[in-house]
């Protein structure tokens, strides 16, 4: 099975945000930020209330509440904006090269104008099926994005069967 495609900005941004923030292995970091920063702000607000500076204390308390409820969305949006700039066509042309993935029995062949590599099936440590793509992870930070838009229904089913056979994908 052979697929040729160029990655799109949304696919690259989605991968960046996932690796940097949304991934299961980032859960503890997200939980700490959700709890400890608002707690610190609440203690800070308490100091202002004790000093009878109610307006400042209320403002800090409001920031703590907003942080608790909105920090994930805010942080995700900031990461998305950064990633869109990072994957700029002029700065990082290598992300926009046409990739050719050939899925063989023994390995995966990746080639484009910058790289020609052979990836053993056992090098793939994890698979994520997302709404618009499959992510084949070699490490926690490095994944091969295989967009579903490059396959028709028959090829998609064949690809899923190949992943199930080679990588125990369900």
* Cα(35)–Cα(137) distance, integer angstroms: 30
Residue 157 has pLDDT above 70, yes or no: yes
Final residue of a structural domain among 55, 86, 117: 86
Residues 119 and 56 in one domain: no
* pLDDT in the model for residue 23: 66
* Cα(126)–Cα(139) distance, integer angstroms: 8
Tens-place pLDDT, residues 105-119: 888 998 888 888 898
Tens-place pLDDT, residues 24-33: 666 787 778 7
Number of domains in the chain: 2
Average pLDDT, the chain: 82
Final residue of a structural domain among 66, 86, 106: 86
Q: Which of 17-21, 45-49, 88-92 has the lowest mean pLDDT?
A: 88-92
Residues 81 and 109 in one domain: no
Q: Look at residue 134 and tell me if it is in a domain.
A: yes
Write out the residue range of the structural domain in which residue 65 sits: 13-86
């Amino acid at each position: 099975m052979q697929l040729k495609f160029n990655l799109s900005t949304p696919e690259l941004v989605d991968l960046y945000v996932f690796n940097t923030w949304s991934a299961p292995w980032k859960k503890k970091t997200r939980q700490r930020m959700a709890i400890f920063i608002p707690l610190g702000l609440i203690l800070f607000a308490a100091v202002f209330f004790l000093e009878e500076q109610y307006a400042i204390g209320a403002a800090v308390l409001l920031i703590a509440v907003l942080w608790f409820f909105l920090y994930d969305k805010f942080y995700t949006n900031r990461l998305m904006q950064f990633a869109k700039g990072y994957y700029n066509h002029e700065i990082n042309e290598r992300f926009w090269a046409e990739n050719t993935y050939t899925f063989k029995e023994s390995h995966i062949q990746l080639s484009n104008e910058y790289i020609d590599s052979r990836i053993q099936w056992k090098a793939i440590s994890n698979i994520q099926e997302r709404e618009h793509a499959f992510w084949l992870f070699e490490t926690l930070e490095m994944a091969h994005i295989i967009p579903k838009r490059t396959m028709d229904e028959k090829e998609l089913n064949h690809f899923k069967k190949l992943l199930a056979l080679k990588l125990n994908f369900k």
